[in-house]
Chain A
Amino acid sequence: MTANRYGPPNWPPPPTYPPYQDHRPGVAPPAADRRPGPQHGTGEWRTIRERSATRRPARVRREDASPWNWLLLVPIVLPLIPGLYNRIEPTVFGIPFFYWGQLSFAFLASAILTFLHLKVR
């Protein structure tokens, strides 16, 4: 799994700073930092390198991803359900629904693809 073999597009990552902390002895570190895993030598907070070793690699979001693309499933799935169109009635110009219904899916597919082409760049 080498999503960032060349480094992600936003490399190097923005610097992260340790949160401000009270270092007086006897004061417990804030709850958010009491996480398991390798700790810095003083046991107060982890270094960036140690943290990135334990953290799962960030999920890279594809540049062409869009929730609108789920719409594509409609013209793919509908023609694959014969129960929807396996009937004679209603007929149009005497052509059974089985035939003109499936042909009309072509208009549906074309309309959805046109919409997506304009909507998602």
Chain B
Amino acid sequence: MSDKQVMQLAVFLAVFGAVTMLGFAAARWRRPDSIHSLEEWGLGGRAFGNWVTFFLLSGDVYTAYTFVAVPTLVYGVGAAGFFPVPFLVIVYPMLFVVLARFWSVCHVHGFVTPAEFVRSRFGSRGLGTIVAVLGIVATMPYIALQLIGMEAVFEVMGLPKGWPLTVAFAVLALYTFNAGLRGPALVSIIKDALVLWTVLAVIIIVSMTPGQWDVVFRVAQDKYATSPRTDDGLLLASQSQLNYVTLALGSAVALFLYPHTLTGVLAARNRGTLRRNLAALPLYTLTLGVLMLIGFAAVFDGTTAVGGNGNTVVPQWFAENTPPWTAGLAFAAIGVGAMVPAAIMSIAAANLFTRDLYRQYIRPHASAREETYVSKTVSLTVKFGALLVILLLNTQFAIDLQLIGGVLIMQTLPAVALGLYTNWFHRWALAGGIGAGLAVGLLMLYQVPKYAGDGRTVVREHLGGSAWPLSNLGIDSDASIYVGIVALAVNLLVAALLTPVLRGAGAADGHDHTREHDYVADEGDPTVRRMVEILDGEPVPDRPEQPVSLFTPVPRRPRDDEGVRTR
């Protein structure tokens, strides 16, 4: 280890220590009477205000993998790797109205997961189970992906592969176990401060290079011009445009449906909090945009990956071009940026398991305390499962699984997102649509070959990416399309066609337990049950009517649950 690396490691460890302490302290922050309910452990009491929600959602959406992998993509192909910017701009207007409805209906009914909503809306336990299983399967590789980001940082700092990652994740698992969603919410504040400094550092460093961005882009342009690939460059090649647009659209749809996004959303205090945050979050995309430009800066500075691991380009650029302490802070930003979403994702997957599988099939009468215990245990299991995948299998396996996961989670759109607007779809038609979408999506993913760096040589026959060449259809063009969008279109078509068929055949509709007013209820609305009253799954007893005398006012006797708290 060189002196530089020692300094980087020292800064990294200092930040990591602070994060650890904050994570454990989070269990005491706004401590509820009992943390042993899923509302408290898994949703932070559903009471996060504007700022905490902002940090939670930004930590949730802008993950370490994004910070590491996307600039690497830009480094490799240029403009085509820039798709996360349109994706993370369009996602917020797409969700602005939809998420508020989701928040309301979940608050009125005490739902913790999207699968519970689907079960209630379409009156179908089977459909809820499908949504829950898809959510869990899609989330797990995403957690493993966060580890890849962290691994790249450790590699640049000259640490060995196995134990540092294990230690970092053990710490993360422990404070998540203890503090639940409060942990990542607080830690995310540190993460955002670090990211802000990292972005400033990039801007300052590039501004100090003679010629500034002008030269950086000119050098990058020369590199793409001389490379053997045809789909790279500072602008989109004509054959990449369709894939660029569909990938941005599909990623936006998938982001909304991922259970961890919805977990972050449900933790907001009221609709106004959520809407204010959705209005502010597009600006956070600017930080990602600046970090992506590191890809070009790395081309300019001639940065090369360490040990053949492509994801090390970004950390390596920081190590070579910034003072060691700033590099240490940037590494900490990536490391903490991996821990925050990993924690939220594991909580979301655990909640799905508890509410939609354990409670439905194993122990229907589980108490709130038991539910929380199951959720905590599952969140640990999920995290260590991800760790084992990265340590024992290769990282490519996790990336392939994540690719499939994105296509899987998109298939829940008709049930979850359209379900917020209509219960027109028949429950079996929705299940059929999901099945058709999955079949088409998986088949198409299987057909995509993987190319080597020059963009021509086939490295692997199958499962090589998500860009499906249109030439498979016999169309004479180089263009390709994002698999998920096609699968989703098939899914929607099947669901829409099967619904009238099933109705005509007399298949019974499920009972819709929600009402239109549930979708617009807000904090303070009498239909939104007070947080104190929500005990997971237990029906809220109706308050007995007060005795009313028409003649003499009877003094009201305080009820048992009112009056001075003794604790």
**Interface positions of A (Cβ within 8 A of B):** 1-3, 5-6, 9, 60, 62-64, 69, 72-76, 79-82, 86-88, 91, 93-96, 98-99, 102-103, 105-107, 109-110, 112-114, 116-117
Provide the bound-state CA to CA distance between A5 and B514, in Å: 10
Which residue from chain A places its CB closest to the CB of B87 in the assembled complex? A79
> CB-CB < 8 A to B174: which residues of A?
none
Does B139 have its Cβ within 8 Å of any Cβ on chain A? no
Interface centre among B88, B90, B215 (most CB of A within 10 A): B90
Provide the bound-state CA to CA distance between A2 and B422, in Å: 10
Contact present for B279 and A113 (CB under 8 Å) = yes
Contact present for A75 and B93 (CB under 8 Å) = yes
Provide the bound-state CA to CA distance between A72 and B89, in Å: 12
Contact present for B248 and A98 (CB under 8 Å) = no
Q: List 29 A-B contacts (CB under 8 A).
A: A2-B423, A60-B516, A62-B516, A63-B520, A72-B93, A73-B93, A76-B94, A79-B86, A80-B245, A80-B249, A82-B236, A82-B241, A82-B244, A86-B235, A87-B235, A91-B217, A94-B217, A95-B217, A95-B293, A96-B217, A96-B234, A96-B235, A98-B234, A102-B289, A106-B88, A113-B92, A113-B96, A117-B272, A117-B276
Could you say which of B63-71, B257-265, B280-288 contacts chain A? B280-288
Mask, B304-330, CB within 8 Å of A = 1, is 000000000000000000000000000
Does B275 have its Cβ within 8 Å of any Cβ on chain A? yes
Provide the bound-state CA to CA distance between A13 and B241, in Å: 54
Contact present for B215 and A6 (CB under 8 Å) = no
List the 5 closest pairs (A to B, CB-CB), nearest first: A94-B214, A94-B213, A113-B279, A79-B86, A106-B282
Contact present for A82 and B245 (CB under 8 Å) = yes
> CB-CB < 8 A to A103: which residues of B?
85, 285-286, 289
Does B519 have its Cβ within 8 Å of any Cβ on chain A? yes
Contact present for A109 and B97 (CB under 8 Å) = no
B89, B93, B212: the one contacting A102 at CB < 8 Å is B89
> CB-CB < 8 A to B275: which residues of A?
113, 117
Within the complex, the shortest CB–CB distance from B215 to chain A, in Å, comes to: 7
Provide the bound-state CA to CA distance between A110 and B512, in Å: 35
Which residue from chain A places its CB closest to the CB of B293 in the assembled complex? A99
Which B423-458 residues sit within 8 Å CB-CB of chain A? 423-424
Provide the bound-state CA to CA distance between A110 and B276, in Å: 10
Does B278 have its Cβ within 8 Å of any Cβ on chain A? yes
Provide the bound-state CA to CA distance between A5 and B423, in Å: 12
Given A75-B90, A113-B279, A116-B96, A106 and B286 contact (CB-CB distance below 8 Å): yes
Provide the bound-state CA to CA distance between A98 and B82, in Å: 9
Contact present for A109 and B93 (CB under 8 Å) = yes
Does B100 have its Cβ within 8 Å of any Cβ on chain A? yes
Contact present for A102 and B213 (CB under 8 Å) = no
Mask, B71-83, CB within 8 Å of A = 1, is 0000000010010
Contact present for A105 and B279 (CB under 8 Å) = no
Within the complex, the shortest CB–CB distance from A32 to chain B, in Å, comes to: 32
Q: A81-B245, A82-B236, A105-B89 are in contact. List 10 more A-B contacts (CB 8 A).
A: A69-B97, A79-B89, A86-B241, A88-B234, A95-B217, A96-B217, A98-B235, A109-B90, A113-B278, A114-B279
Binding site secondary structure of chain A: helix
Contact present for B212 and A94 (CB under 8 Å) = yes
Which B391-447 residues sit within 8 Å CB-CB of chain A? 421, 423-424
Does B161 have its Cβ within 8 Å of any Cβ on chain A? no
Does B515 have its Cβ within 8 Å of any Cβ on chain A? yes
Does B517 have its Cβ within 8 Å of any Cβ on chain A? yes
Which residue from chain B places its CB closest to the CB of A5 in the assembled complex? B512
Does B101 have its Cβ within 8 Å of any Cβ on chain A? yes
Provide the bound-state CA to CA distance between A117 and B280, in Å: 11
> CB-CB < 8 A to B283: which residues of A?
106-107, 110
Does B216 have its Cβ within 8 Å of any Cβ on chain A? yes
Provide the bound-state CA to CA distance between A114 and B96, in Å: 10
Provide the bound-state CA to CA distance between A41 and B285, in Å: 69
> CB-CB < 8 A to A88: which residues of B?
234-235
> CB-CB < 8 A to B282: which residues of A?
75, 106-107, 109-110, 113
> CB-CB < 8 A to A2: which residues of B?
423, 509, 512
Contact present for A1 and B424 (CB under 8 Å) = yes
B100, B279, B285, B286: the one contacting A64 at CB < 8 Å is B100
Contact present for B234 and A76 (CB under 8 Å) = no
Provide the bound-state CA to CA distance between A1 and B423, in Å: 7
Contact present for B79 and A98 (CB under 8 Å) = yes
> CB-CB < 8 A to A114: which residues of B?
279
Within the complex, the shortest CB–CB distance from A120 to chain B, in Å, comes to: 9
> CB-CB < 8 A to B234: which residues of A?
88, 96, 98
Provide the bound-state CA to CA distance between A110 and B82, in Å: 20
Given A2-B423, A94-B213, A110-B279, A64 and B241 contact (CB-CB distance below 8 Å): no
Given A94-B215, A107-B283, A9 and B93 contact (CB-CB distance below 8 Å): no
Provide the bound-state CA to CA distance between A87 and B241, in Å: 13
Contact present for A63 and B517 (CB under 8 Å) = yes
> CB-CB < 8 A to A95: which residues of B?
213, 217, 293
> CB-CB < 8 A to B94: which residues of A?
72, 76
Provide the bound-state CA to CA distance between A106 and B248, in Å: 14
Provide the bound-state CA to CA distance between A93 and B245, in Å: 26
> CB-CB < 8 A to A98: which residues of B?
79, 82, 234-236
Mask, B94-112, CB within 8 Å of A = 1, is 1011001100000000000
Contact present for B92 and A86 (CB under 8 Å) = no
Within the complex, the shortest CB–CB distance from B202 to chain A, in Å, comes to: 13
> CB-CB < 8 A to B423: which residues of A?
2
Provide the bound-state CA to CA distance between A107 and B88, in Å: 12
Provide the bound-state CA to CA distance between A7 and B425, in Å: 20
